[in-house]
Amino acid sequence: MPAAQPSRKFTLKAFVEELRADIAHNRIKLPTLPNISLEALVVVNDDTSTVAEVAEVVERDTAIAARLVKYANSPLYRGVKPVTTIKAAITRIGFDKVRHAILTLAMKEVFKTGFKPLQQRMEELWEHSMDVATRAALLARDIEHIDQEEALLAGLVHDIGAIPILLKAQDYEVLVNSRDNLNKLIAPIHAAIGRDMLKVWKFDPRMVAVAAEHENLNRDPGNAPVDLVDLVIVANVLSHADTDHPLARVNYRDIPAFRRVNWQPPPPEDGPEQEEETMEDIEELRDLLI
Ligand SMILES: [Fe+2]
Ligand SMILES: [Fe+2]
Predicted confidence pLDDT, tens digits, the chain (290 residues): 454 556 678 888 888 888 878 776 767 666 667 767 777 777 887 888 888 988 888 888 777 888 899 999 988 886 678 999 999 999 999 888 888 888 888 888 889 888 899 999 999 999 999 999 999 999 999 899 999 989 999 999 999 999 989 988 988 988 998 888 899 899 999 999 999 888 877 788 999 999 999 999 999 999 999 999 999 999 999 999 999 899 999 999 999 999 999 998 877 766 667 777 777 888 888 888 87
How far, in Å, is the centroid of ligand 2 from the Cα of 236?
5
pLDDT given for residue 26 in this prediction: 67
Provide the domain count of the chain. Answer: 2
How far, in Å, is the centroid of ligand 1 from the Cα of 80?
35
pLDDT given for residue 30 in this prediction: 62
From residue 150, alpha-carbon distances to 21, 38, 54, 65 in Å are 31, 18, 20, 20
Q: If you write DSSP's letter for every residue of 5-63 in order, what string do you get?
A: S--PPP-HHHHHHHHHHHHHTT-S-PPPPPHHHHHHHHHHH-TT--HHHHHHHHHTSHH
Contacts of 243 (CB under 8 A, 6+ apart): none
How far, in Å, is the centroid of ligand 1 from the Cα of 94?
30
How far, in Å, is the centroid of ligand 1 from the Cα of 286?
20
From residue 219, alpha-carbon distances to 82, 101, 107, 195, 252 in Å are 40, 28, 27, 16, 13
27 falls within a domain = no
25 falls within a domain = no
Residues 252, 142 share a domain: yes
161 falls within a domain = yes
Residue 82 DSSP label: P
Residues 159, 175 share a domain: yes
Query: Which domain-ending residue is among 110, 126, 148?
Result: 110
Give the CA count within 13 Å in the CB-facing half-sphere of 5: 2
Q: Domain residues for 39? A: 32-110
pLDDT given for residue 2 in this prediction: 52
Sign of the C-alpha dihedral, residues 32, 98, 215, 225?
positive
pLDDT given for residue 31 in this prediction: 63
The enclosing domain of 130 has a CATH number of 1.10.3210.10
Rounded CA-CA distance 124/116 in Å is: 14
How far, in Å, is the centroid of ligand 2 from the Cα of 158?
6
Rounded CA-CA distance 275/101 in Å is: 27
Are residues 121 and 269 in contact, defined by beta-carbon separation less than 8 angstroms? Answer: no
Query: Which domain-ending residue is among 51, 85, 110?
Result: 110
CB atoms within 10 A of CB 94: 14
Residues 182, 48 share a domain: no
Residues 169, 91 share a domain: no
Residues 278, 143 share a domain: yes
Residues 95, 53 share a domain: yes
Q: pTM to 2 decimals? A: 0.86
Give the CA count within 13 Å in the CB-facing half-sphere of 27: 9
User: Residue 130: nearest ligand to its CA?
Assistant: 2
How far, in Å, is the centroid of ligand 2 from the Cα of 190?
10
Residues 148, 266 share a domain: yes
Residues 171, 53 share a domain: no
pLDDT given for residue 123 in this prediction: 95
pLDDT given for residue 90 in this prediction: 92
Residues 88, 119 share a domain: no
Are residues 7 and 164 in contact, defined by beta-carbon separation less than 8 angstroms? Answer: no
Rounded CA-CA distance 2/52 in Å is: 41
Residues 206, 128 share a domain: yes
Q: At what angle do helices 62-72 and 35-45 cross, to 10 degrees?
A: 60
Residues 117, 8 share a domain: yes
How far, in Å, is the centroid of ligand 2 from the Cα of 203?
19
192 falls within a domain = yes
Rounded CA-CA distance 66/68 in Å is: 5
Residues 121, 99 share a domain: no
Amino acid at 14: A
Query: Which domain-ending residue is among 110, 130, 157?
Result: 110
Q: At what angle do helices 98-106 and 148-157 cross, to 10 degrees?
A: 30
Three-state DSSP class for residue 145: coil
Give CA angle at 79 (73, 81), nearest 5°. Answer: 60
pLDDT given for residue 8 in this prediction: 77
